[in-house]
Structure 1
Amino acid sequence: MMNILNMMFTTLIVLISIAFFTLMERKIISYSQNRKGPNKTNMMGIIQPISDALKLMNKEINLNYKSNFLMFFISPMFNILCSLAMWFSFPSVYTFKFMKMSILFIMTTMSVNIIIIMTMSWSSNSNYSMLGMMRSIAQMISYEINFMFIILTCMNMSEQTNLEMTQKMMKWSPLSLFMPTLMIMWMIIILAETNRTPFDFSEGESEIISGFNIEFSGKSFMFLFLAEYSSILLMSLLTSSLFSTIMMKTTWFIMFYMTICFVFIWTRTTLPRFRYDKLMKMNWHKILPMTMYLLMISFLTKVFYTKN
């Protein structure tokens, strides 16, 4: 019973965070463009996310001719369930059951998300949806390799398979010198993993008209929207857990987490969309060799210190 209450409480907190994160994003983007953001609904637009959610819930769900109704209807629900499931792996004071291999759980759940995107595109029966799906799948699979290499490097440094690795990170080791380089590559990877600007090729409005989610509306689009922003907040929290080794205090940890969330919005405000071939070339020719090299060096350094 306590585990169920914990899951319900975590889900509620995540959904509220997503709602007000969208408000913060719209405010930052508007002020960066020298204009006002949402400011009509209540005081300074505070309840704008609630009104947007009610609007989406009341909109009609459109169905394509010859679309697979069952898969078209339930695939967005599986998408949001996968995104919310990864939140239960993070240790907190409200967690009643600790997950010993939370890092492995996150990696496997992210892999399932690729199958869900394929299902949504296939069930939509749309050419634009299939184009967006092929872009998204190629991008996510290629960057998940680097994603896992960097996580393996951090796991090797901390000798942990769960998200308490921050508490046991070896600060004295030469491996800690790799952290700035890993951090830069990690930020590029999570931007590509979450399909955010400048790597939002699966949702390129000027090229493929919103990509794999073009045929979804109403509640279905709301589930996709929640899943996307849930993954942004999740990656920010995962980044804080992996790279905030010098910030053991809760206050500094929260500030670091908010900074990563701000970077997601800042890149969307500042940078134009990258070219797709350049993105894949950067992954396979630059980031992948570097992550493999750092992983190999971390293992060799670990073996050397163990023998001595």
Structure 2
Amino acid sequence: MMMTINMMAIILIVFISIAFFTLMERKIISYSQNRKGPNKASMTGIMQPMADAIKLMNKEVNLNYKSNFFMFMLSPTVNIFCSGLMWFIYPSAFCFKFMKMSVLYIISCMSVNIIAVMAMSWSSNSNFSLLGMMRTISQLVSYEINLMMIILLSINMSEQMNLEHMKNLTQMSPMALMMTLIFMLWMITSLAETNRTPFDFSEGESELISGFNIEFSGKSFMFVFLAEYSSILIMAMLTSTMFFSMTPMSHMFTPLYLTLCFTFVWTRTSLPRFRYDKLMAANWQQVLPVSMTALLVSFSLKLYYTKNYNQN
């Protein structure tokens, strides 16, 4: 019973964090464009996320008469459910601890999210939704390979599949010297995996209107929206753990975490969108070869130092 209450508390905290993260994003974007942004709901617009949530929950859910009703209603729930499950791997004041195979758990949840996107597109029975799904799936699968390469690099350097031990890999030498380059590749991959600017091709308003979620409205759209922003916060959490040796229980975690979240917003305000063909070419011709080379170098260095250590 206590475990269920703890899980519900974590999910509630995550949803509240997502709500106020959207407010932070709208404020940063508005001030970067020399305008006010949300400032009417309550004091300085602090209740704007709650007003948006109430509006979405009370809007009518429009159904395409050719859609698959059961899958159409279920797929957004699966999407937000998979995003919510990934929050249970982090230690917190609610008695949760790191899972022993937490890295495999994260990879599995990310893979199921792709299936949820496919289900949302297929059940909508819309041409625009189909085109958005094809672009989204190809983008996510391509950059997920690079994501796995970087995670394999981290596993090789830490010799662990547990984030509690992997968080110490930045203290390792001399392999830690390559972490600056790997961190840059990780941030690029994170932006592509979360469909953030300049890689937001799943929701290209100019050509796809809203991509794979074009037919969703009301509560269904809110679930898709929450899952997308939950993935941003999860990637920021993973980054702080893997590259900065910080966990939610660390003293300096909050400033670092807010800085990483600000980075996702800052890229949206500063960088223009890529062309889709350039996005895919950047992964297969530049990002992925560099990450594979770094992985091979890390294996070679690990083998070399392990061999010398055994000889001594």
Tell me, yes or no, whether TM beats 0.5: yes
2:86, 2:106 within 8 Å by CA — same for their partners in 1? yes
1:167, 1:248 within 8 Å by CA — same for their partners in 2? no
Aligned to 2:25: 25
Q: Equivalent residue of 1:251, what SS?
A: coil
1:165, 1:242 within 8 Å by CA — same for their partners in 2? no
Tell me, in whole angstroms, the C-alpha distance in 2 between the residues paired with 1:218 and 1:247. 35
Alignment of 1:118-267 (within 5 A): 118-169=118-169, 171-245=171-245, 250-267=250-267
The Cα offsets for residues 32-58 of structure 1, whole Å up to 9 and x where unpaired, read as 000001111110001110010000000
2:128, 2:214 within 8 Å by CA — same for their partners in 1? yes
Aligned to 2:292: 292
2:169, 2:242 within 8 Å by CA — same for their partners in 1? no
1:56, 1:218 within 8 Å by CA — same for their partners in 2? yes
TM-superposed deviation, 1:144:
0.3
TM (normalized to structure 1)?
0.97
TM-superposed deviation, 1:168:
3.2
Question: Relative to structure 1, is the Cα distance of residues 183 and 174 closer, same or farther in structure 2, using a 3 angstrom cutoff?
Answer: same
Tell me, in whole angstroms, the C-alpha distance in 2 between the residues paired with 1:154 and 1:227. 26
TM-superposed deviation, 1:284:
0.3
Report sequence identity in percent. 66
Tell me, in whole angstroms, the C-alpha distance in 2 between the residues paired with 1:182 and 1:168. 16
Q: Equivalent residue of 2:133, what SS?
A: helix
Tell me, in whole angstroms, the C-alpha distance in 1 between the residues paired with 2:285 and 2:296. 17
Q: Equivalent residue of 2:202, what SS?
A: helix
The Cα offsets for residues 150-180 of structure 1, whole Å up to 9 and x where unpaired, read as 0111111112111113553262411100110
Query: How many pairs are equivalent?
Result: 308
1:147, 1:186 within 8 Å by CA — same for their partners in 2? yes
1:84, 1:230 within 8 Å by CA — same for their partners in 2? yes
Tell me, in whole angstroms, the C-alpha distance in 1 between the residues paired with 2:210 and 2:170. 44
- CA RMSD of the aligned region, Å? 1.5
Tell me, in whole angstroms, the C-alpha distance in 1 between the residues paired with 2:34 and 2:212. 32
The Cα offsets for residues 63-89 of structure 1, whole Å up to 9 and x where unpaired, read as 002110000011100000000001111
| 158-167 vs 105-114, which moves further | 158-167
Question: Relative to structure 1, is the Cα distance of residues 34 and 229 closer, same or farther in structure 2, using a 3 angstrom cutoff?
Answer: same
Aligned to 2:59: 59
Aligned to 1:269: 269
Aligned to 1:39: 39
The Cα offsets for residues 81-112 of structure 1, whole Å up to 9 and x where unpaired, read as 00000111122332345411111100111011
Tell me, in whole angstroms, the C-alpha distance in 2 between the residues paired with 1:103 and 1:202. 26
The Cα offsets for residues 170-220 of structure 1, whole Å up to 9 and x where unpaired, read as 624111001100010111001000011110101000011110000000000
Alignment of 1:55-134 (within 5 A): 55-96=55-96, 98-134=98-134
- Which letter does structure 1 place at the counterpart of 2:118? M
Question: Relative to structure 1, is the Cα distance of residues 106 and 199 closer, same or farther in structure 2, using a 3 angstrom cutoff?
Answer: same
TM (normalized to structure 2)?
0.95
- Which letter does structure 1 place at the counterpart of 2:191? L
Tell me, in whole angstroms, the C-alpha distance in 1 between the residues paired with 2:93 and 2:295. 32
Tell me, in whole angstroms, the C-alpha distance in 2 between the residues paired with 1:220 and 1:171. 44
Structure 2 unaligned regions, length at least 5? none
The Cα offsets for residues 116-171 of structure 1, whole Å up to 9 and x where unpaired, read as 11110000010000000000000000000000110111111112111113553262
